[in-house]
Amino acid sequence: MDSEHARELLARERQRIERTLEGPGESEDERSDPDENSGDAGAELFETGREEGIAEHLKQELEALERAEKRLEEGTYGLSIESGEPIPDGRLELIPWAERTAEEQERWERGG
């Protein structure tokens, strides 16, 4: 993959992640009166936990994206950090911050 296209992919993903992390914010109308929906406390707690999990995942993606930007500057972008083998362009199109080939990533996730 050429470096200019890789920069574009990484920049687009950075914007997506940062925009999602910022969130839409709540307007006055969207905030609920605590007395009005006291039965929804469990649902609110669940939603808060879900949002925190999503935010943590996005932060991890952002960290991986920053590592990919560094590899791009160093001239090693698109090569596995594990084996040095090229990461297929199709994988980089889908996951521009990919650090390993799909096979290596699967092994790594299984702990091997």
pLDDT digits (tens, 9 = 90+) for 25-76: 544 444 455 555 555 766 666 566 666 677 788 899 999 999 999 999 999 9
pTM of this prediction? 0.71
Containing domain of residue 73, as a range? 3-22+48-109
Domain CATH number, residue 78: 1.20.120.910
At 54 the pLDDT is 78
Structural domain includes residue 90: yes
**Residue 59: inside a domain, yes or no?**
yes
Give how many domains the chain has, as a whole number.
Answer: 1
Give the pLDDT score at 112.
Answer: 64
Q: 97 exposed, middle or buried (CB, 10 Å; 0-12, 13-18, 19+)?
A: buried
87 with 101: CB under 8 angstroms?
A: yes
User: pLDDT at position 23, please?
Assistant: 76
How confident is residue 105, by pLDDT bands cut at 50, 70 and 90?
very high
85 inside domain: yes
- Residue at 14 is within a domain: yes
- Averaged confidence pLDDT in the chain: 84
Higher pLDDT, 34 or 20: 20
- Quick one: how far is CA 11 from the chain centroid? 13
The residue type found at 107 is R
